[in-house]
């Protein structure tokens, strides 16, 4: 039977650079990850494509997915729903591939209940003022929404101790290298545990 893939969960406040770091990570030839596309009721930003960045749904459609147990986790964040379709995650892990979730903290805590063996990484900003600068620089949100997201950021930062690793996103390339090192180390650890277990069974 094929070994199950590793589930990797990346969280961090809005504007910290999750999307940017993830894209850098996915362009690296020496690490193969499968991105789980989330469902959201948020309106698409300019340039976002349905089925690539998110599956964009109405609130009714989203609530139906909740009722039909189609989501591994979901949360309401700054007035919109976000959730992870469970089928893709389950199927891909079973194929032995690593799955990468980029989700906020409430959802991450729900994932931990279902997949305690997943790897939880929190991407942290160098400072709150740098975080504000990055959200403003991106220019996708109004002043009101920036304020709400910064408020949510403060609550999210309080949750970082619940993660296995905290990675600072001071520079994109460095953050990307750190995450890569964590994933590779976790693979080695799992391999060692599996081998020890196998040996133990051989002896008995």
Q: Would you tell me which residues interact with ligand ADP (CB under 6 A)?
A: 12, 14-20, 134, 137-138, 169-172
Q: Enumerate residues 120-179 that contact ligand GDP by CB under 6 A.
A: none
> HSE of 101 in the Cβ direction (CA atoms, 13 Å)?
35
Minimum distance of ligand ADP from residue 201's CB (angstroms): 44
Closest residue to ligand ADP using C-beta atoms = 17
By CB under 6 A, name the one of 41, 104, 163, 183 that touches ligand GDP.
Answer: 104
- Which 37-76 residues touch ligand GDP, going by CB under 6 A? 38, 42, 73, 75
> Which contacts of 18-22 are long-range, i.e. CB under 8 A and separated by 24 or more positions?
18/102, 18/123, 19/102, 20/172, 21/123, 21/169, 21/172, 21/175, 21/176, 21/179, 22/100, 22/102
* Neighbouring-strand partners of residue 35: 100
Residue closest to ligand GDP when measured from CB atoms: 107
**Residue placing its CB nearer to ligand GDP in the complex, 42 or 132:** 42
CB atoms within 10 A of CB 136: 13
Residue 186 touching ligand GDP (CB under 6 A): no
Given ligand ADP, ligand GDP, none, residue 16, with its beta carbon under 5 to 8 Å by kind, binds ligand ADP
Angle at 138 between CA 79 and CA 77, to 5 degrees: 15
Residue 24 CB burial class (10 angstroms; 0-12, 13-18, ≥19)? middle
15 known ligand binder: yes
Build a one-symbol-per-residue string for 7-26: x at contacts with ligand GDP by CB under 6 A, - elsewhere: -------xx--xx-------
C-alpha pair distances (Å), 115 with each of 13, 25, 68, 100, 110: 22, 23, 20, 13, 9
Closer residue to ligand ADP, CB minimum distance, 19 or 96: 19
**Was 18 annotated as part of a binding site?**
yes
Q: Which residues are annotated binding-site positions for ATP?
A: 12-19
């Amino acid at each position: 039977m094929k070994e199950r893939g590793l589930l990797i969960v990346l969280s961090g406040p809005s504007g910290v650079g999750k999307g940017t770091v993830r894209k850098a990570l996915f362009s690296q030839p020496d690490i193969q990850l499968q991105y789980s596309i989330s469902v959201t009721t948020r309106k698409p930003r300019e340039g976002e494509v349905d089925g690539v960045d998110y599956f964009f749904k109405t609130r009714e459609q989203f609530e139906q997915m909740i009722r039909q147990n189609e989501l591994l986790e979901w949360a309401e964040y700054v007035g919109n729903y976000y959730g992870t379709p469970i089928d893709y995650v389950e199927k891909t892990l079973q194929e032995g591939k690593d799955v990468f979730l980029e989700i906020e903290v409430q959802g991450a805590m729900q994932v931990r209940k279902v997949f305690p063996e997943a790897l939880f990484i929190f991407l942290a900003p160098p400072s709150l003022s740098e975080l504000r600068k990055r959200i403003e620089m991106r220019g996708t949100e109004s002043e009101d929404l920036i304020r709400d997201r910064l408020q949510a950021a403060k609550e999210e930062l309080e949750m970082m101790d619940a993660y296995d690793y905290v990675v600072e996103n001071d520079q994109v390339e460095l953050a990307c290298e750190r995450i890569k090192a964590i994933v590779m180390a976790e693979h080695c650890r799992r391999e060692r545990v599996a081998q020890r277990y196998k040996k133990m069974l051989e002896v008995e």
